[in-house]
């Protein structure tokens, strides 16, 4: 679990007090309205986040509105505009395009809505951002990969959509691999973080680079497609990733698995912290502009005891 700063421990205590006293119901306007816009919900990571938020808002008696952008920034902006029309008090945004959502963030800010970005940074007047240490996630995964291919050989990167967390993971991976002069990045392809797309992209990569020794995927959803391609090829390619998804953990646990590690995130903690920060801001508190959340590298030795 994430170790919280002292200020956030006090915030958690104040939230508990609020729950006990029913502080979240406004006698003038009714229950607090929380809107959340996800870049996608067709992913166990975001499903876990959504479920945790549903539990948290139900506990405090708040109304929750959930939308799925389906990786379409125009839809995400439209969804947020609709939520503003419904009178939300808090907006938690997980942007599908960090720059493209700026107009929606500005509109929410202008309407007096507290805005906190979760998992991926957003442009515009945010009140706070909560997200994993993504450079560290990429770095740790690829350092582990380097060690397990003997610090030498050709490596590929399975990239994703151009949001800050994905860019940071690739950056961290490249920094780790750069420490090993006998490792060469020979291919960077976009799997779009989707299993089917990643499967096809990895198949093509393996055909073009039959000497590949290692592969880094920016997320577990894509890594599972990549794993299918690696297993079908019969090649000895070690795979590492980011997320800590349940299905990825199961794959890592299989004896002789090519999937050797993932830099696990903590989606429940992220969204709970985001809600807590938003509530504190609405109450008039000064809140941190950024809360970085640690990751944990999970290999086969740790996978048995790990879950979101």
Residues 280-294: tens digit of each pLDDT: 999 999 999 999 999
Structure confidence by residue, pLDDT tens digits, 180-199: 999 999 999 999 999 999 99
Number of domains in the chain: 2
Q: Say yes or no to pLDDT of 238 above 60.
A: yes
Residue 305 included in any domain = no
Tell me, yes or no, whether 172 and 147 share the same domain.
Answer: yes
Tell me, yes or no, whether 150 and 87 share the same domain.
Answer: no
Residue 164's pLDDT band (cuts 50, 70, 90): confident
**pLDDT at position 11, please?**
52
Tell me, yes or no, whether 140 and 97 share the same domain.
Answer: no
Instruction: State the chain's mean pLDDT as an integer.
Output: 92
Tell me, yes or no, whether 147 and 90 share the same domain.
Answer: no
What's the helix, strand, coil split of the chain in %, to 5?
45, 25, 30
Looking at the DSSP assignment, which residues form a beta bridge with residue 240? 216, 261
Tell me, yes or no, whether 122 and 190 share the same domain.
Answer: no
Q: What is the spatial distance between Cα 269 and Cα 267, in angstroms, rounded to a whole number?
A: 5
Tell me, yes or no, whether 190 and 106 share the same domain.
Answer: no
Tell me, yes or no, whether 182 and 95 share the same domain.
Answer: no
Residue 239 included in any domain = yes
Tell me, yes or no, whether 60 and 166 share the same domain.
Answer: no
**pLDDT at position 109, please?**
98
Q: Count the alpha carbons within 13 Å of 96 in the hemisphere toward its beta carbon.
A: 22
Do the bridges between strand 25-26 and strand 30-31 make them parallel or antiparallel, or are there none, so unpaired?
Answer: antiparallel
> pTM of the predicted model, to two decimals?
0.84
Q: What is the spatial distance between Cα 50 and Cα 227, in angstroms, rounded to a whole number?
A: 27
Residue 35's pLDDT band (cuts 50, 70, 90): very high
Residue 107 included in any domain = yes
Residue 151 included in any domain = yes
Residue 307 included in any domain = no
Tell me, yes or no, whether 110 and 153 share the same domain.
Answer: no
Residue 113, H or E segment: none
- If you average pLDDT over residues 195-219, what whole number do you get? 97
Residue 29's pLDDT band (cuts 50, 70, 90): low
**pLDDT at position 55, please?**
98
Q: Say yes or no to pLDDT of 7 above 90.
A: no
- The domain in which residue 279 lies consists of 6-126+266-293
Q: Say yes or no to pLDDT of 139 above 50.
A: yes
Residue 215 included in any domain = yes
Cβ atoms < 10 Å from Cβ of 127? 22
**pLDDT at position 39, please?**
94
Domain of 230, CATH number, reads 3.40.50.2300
Tell me, yes or no, whether 161 and 121 share the same domain.
Answer: no
Nearest CA among 120, 126, 200, 201 for reference residue 166: 120
Residue 300 included in any domain = no
Tell me, yes or no, whether 24 and 141 share the same domain.
Answer: no
Residue 118, SS3 per DSSP: strand
**pLDDT at position 26, please?**
47
- If you average pLDDT over residues 115-140, what whole number do you get? 97
Give the single-character DSSP code of 4: P
Q: Say yes or no to pLDDT of 13 above 60.
A: no
């Amino acid at each position: 679990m994430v170790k919280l700063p002292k200020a956030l421990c006090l915030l958690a205590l104040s939230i508990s007090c609020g729950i006990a006293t029913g502080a979240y119901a406004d006698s003038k306007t009714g229950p607090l309205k929380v809107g959340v816009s996800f870049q996608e919900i067709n992913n166990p990571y975001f499903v876990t986040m959504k479920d945790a938020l549903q539990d948290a808002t139900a506990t405090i008696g708040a109304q929750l509105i959930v939308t799925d952008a389906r990786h379409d920034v125009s839809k995400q902006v439209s969804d947020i505009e609709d939520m503003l029309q419904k009178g939300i008090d808090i907006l938690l945004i997980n942007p599908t395009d960090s720059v493209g959502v700026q107009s929606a963030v500005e509109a929410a800010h202008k309407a007096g809505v507290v805005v906190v970005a979760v998992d991926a940074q957003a442009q515009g007047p945010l009140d706070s951002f909560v997200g994993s240490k993504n450079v560290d996630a990429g770095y740790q995964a690829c350092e582990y990969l380097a060690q397990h291919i003997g610090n030498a050989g050709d490596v590929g990167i399975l990239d994703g959509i151009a949001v800050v967390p994905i860019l940071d993971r690739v950056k961290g991976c490249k920094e780790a691999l750069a420490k090993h002069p006998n490792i060469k990045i020979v291919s960077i392809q976009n799997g779009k973080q989707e299993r089917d797309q990643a499967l096809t992209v990895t198949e093509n990569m393996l055909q073009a680079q039959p000497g590949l020794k290692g592969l880094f995927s920016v997320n577990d959803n894509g890594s599972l497609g990549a794993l299918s391609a690696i297993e079908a090829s019969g090649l000895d390619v070690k795979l590492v990733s980011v997320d800590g998804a349940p299905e990825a953990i199961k794959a890592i646990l299989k004896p002789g698995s090519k999937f050797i590690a993932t830099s696990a995130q903590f989606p429940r903690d992220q969204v709970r912290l985001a809600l807590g920060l938003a509530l504190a801001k609405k109450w008039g508190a000064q809140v941190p502009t950024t809360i970085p959340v640690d990751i944990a590298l999970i290999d086969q030795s740790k996978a048995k005891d790990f879950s979101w």
